[in-house]
Amino acid sequence: MLHLSNLVGPVGGRKNRKRVGRGIGSGTGKTSGRGQKGQKSRSGGSPHPWFEGGQMPIQRRLPKRGFTNIFKKHFEIVNVSQLARCAGADPVTPEVMKEKGLIKKTAAVKILGNGELKESLHVHAHKFSGTAQAKIEQSGGKVVNL
């Protein structure tokens, strides 16, 4: 019968760690398996992982193009077909969308027109695509820009 009290690990399953610098008889005494001299024999003596031995590093070899606009506004995307999950709520605000799991943050939400909408909803969001606005209003709903 197998119990916690009589469990035994596999043979050779645990290996003792290498104890370096413990005398000449241990095999890793004196220089502790690091060799004689040089950068890698010193403490902290290892170059950073992206060091290429003095060769021109890849981040300097590659050409730089374009720029990143730090003022770009990032929108959470919700399609019209996903708004069906918020059918009971009126109005459908970013907070309601977050509760239903459609978005992660309520900072900026954009509604896109992919899919169909059966029920009429009052949708509050920061931006709407033209097709999304048309589909929401066509189903008898209302669009409100925040």
User: Per-domain residue ranges for the chain?
Assistant: 76-145
Topology adopted by domain 76-145: Ribosomal Protein L15; Chain: K; domain 2 (3.100.10)
Residue that the structure tokens 């709407």 belong to: 128
Question: How far are the Cα atoms of 58, 83, 124, 131 from residue 128, in angstroms, in the given order?
Answer: 42, 13, 9, 8
pLDDT at 88: 81
Distance between CA 105 and CA 109 in Å, rounded? Answer: 8
Contact 45, 79 (CB under 8 A): no
pLDDT for the residue numbered 72: 94
pLDDT along the chain (146 residues), means of 10: 90 90 91 91 91 94 94 94 86 91 92 91 93 92 91
* pTM beyond 0.75: no
Predicted local confidence at residue 128, as pLDDT: 94
